[in-house]
Structure 1
């Protein structure tokens, strides 16, 4: 089951790639989806051990046939069955890289991932953002600080010493990221409170 009903829209901004079921040509290749023409396999998405969406695929010569059911909100289920053509580009160290050619009408863009909708299509055709693009300044700064803290082995909101074995320059760079991000969060909080006072 694909389609718009199989994803969810984010709040406070554009729908994001994380809200939609994605088909990644690299993951499918590793799973053997393109092993030989005529191979049929299923792919499913699950949450908390429960299947929430699924799709069937058939390998063709330079294409992948998708078949699934989809529906718009309140509409009847519709059977979908179409080909997604593939492209290959050489890698610098030998071998080749596989790509989807976006099947949306008028697109044909070479992409590694397609996202579920009435038709599986590229991020641009669905108008999807990355979740980080919907973040406000405070959330973005918090994410930067916490990512640096994870690398430093520090707990949330805490400061600590340089981890054993970490180069001093790496430590200084990560600690500076935490410091700058916290300063940005403080500045954003002050701006928010100032706006509230002016109302």
Structure 2
């Protein structure tokens, strides 16, 4: 089992680091009708224009790599549909990368063109978490449930109004166990000595 290349197979970049196009959002907004033209703008000011045709979407935008000149791009992404159990259809992108063609809901701009996360070897942020990170995230979820200030280093808060004392004590004990274990693992990972 295991071996070279098994396990966490993707490099350092995550899906959160890229601009995305989500066909599900476009379908919910009713934009996937032939003849529709619309634009999408991200928080960094980048914009893309989409032109919907019968079985494809043309993406029109400009990119600049490594501070060079702006290069205009205009290419088609084929749309696929699958039937839903209670009627209607669900739309999908066909990854436009050479030799891919996977049916995906989200395309990522990990380079000049949009492609699926496998083509750009992108991982989800949670795939980068260590075991100590997971324990600390669980402890933070309990802090939220208890109405405490986020962050395990902020100390414990008071019992929320309306919560039974038994429930509060159980949640507090579980929080303390998770936080202590997460911090201990992190300290071992960074070779800290108490």
Shared fold, TM over 0.5? yes
Alignment partner, residue 185 of structure 1: 182
Paired residues in the alignment total 177
Distance 2:176 2:114 in 1: 42
TM-aligned CA distance change 1:25 to 1:196, over 3 Å: same
Deviations 1:31-72, CA, capped at 9 Å, x for gaps: 3321x31211111012xxxx5210000011121110100122
1:96 and 2:89 matched: yes
- Of 71, 90, 104, 2:64 maps to 71
Matched, 1:45 2:39: no
Gaps of 5+ in 1: 1-12
Q: Is the Cα contact below 8 Å between 1:153 and 1:163 reproduced in 2?
A: no
Matched, 1:137 2:131: yes
Secondary structure of 1:94 counterpart:
coil
Deviations 1:19-38 (A, max 9, x none): 1111111111223321x312
**In terms of mean alpha carbon deviation, does 61-70 or 24-33 score higher?**
24-33
CA 95–53 in structure 1, closer or farther in 2 if over 3 Å, else same: same
The residue that corresponds to 1:83 in the other structure is: 76
Distance 1:174 1:21, change over 3 A: farther
Between the aligned partners of 1:121 and 1:172, the Cα distance in structure 2 is: 49
Q: Aligned-pair distance for 1:89?
A: 1.4
